[in-house]
Amino acid sequence: MRNIVILISGTGSNMQAIAAAAERDQWPERFGARVAAVISNRPEAKGLAWAREHGLETQVVDHRAYATREAFDEALARVIDGYEQPQEPALVVLAGFMRILTPGFVERYAGRLLNIHPSLLPAFPGLHTHQRAIAAGCRVAGATVHEVTAELDHGPILEQAAVPVLPCDTPEQLAARVLSQEHRIYPQAIAQWLRRHRAVAA
């Protein structure tokens, strides 16, 4: 059984969509994979309560307790590695995890570290994507699921979804429209990743 570890910093709405899809679509039976834990760098993250209420194991690695990014990432990696199975390394999924990861952490989980970004990459990496898309006069925006590499928001693209940018849109309105697509494509991309890697392992 491959364990999926989801990292969050806030409400974890994408985490909720992933966990719901895993149960609804029977990932343990179909892919030999399950959501094993939800880990947050913020003890007050609202998504932790949701995860506990739905029977998911939760852990906190508070970044404020560590003097450097490297020290925090090493502590986080030790917790993640506790969910490794023989011959089945954990899949690490960033779902609103608001930390820039060190190159060492990214290398450690290379090929099995996924993220979702609220733009149609390679357009608008980084922050304030919706405001930037509106300011640039874009007619479409969207979301991208990608593998994480050392370069911020530039890993191989696994899935994308586009939404229209309406003339009257505020960044908040556009963000809500994009988020609804994030909830759809993130579980879909993870399922495709699991299917592909199970076939490779077989």
What amino acid positions are annotated as catalytic residues? 117
Angle among Cα 128, 163, 174 to the nearest 5 degrees reads 40
- Of the candidates 88, 121, 92, the residue with the CA atom closest to the CA atom of residue 106: 92
Contacts (Cβ under 8 Å, ≥6 apart) of 74: none
- Of the candidates 16, 6, 134, the residue with the CA atom closest to the CA atom of residue 79: 6
Asked, as a colleague might, if the bond just before 122 is cis with ω within 30 of 0, I would say yes
The C-alpha atoms of residue 118 and residue 177 are separated, in whole angstroms, by: 10
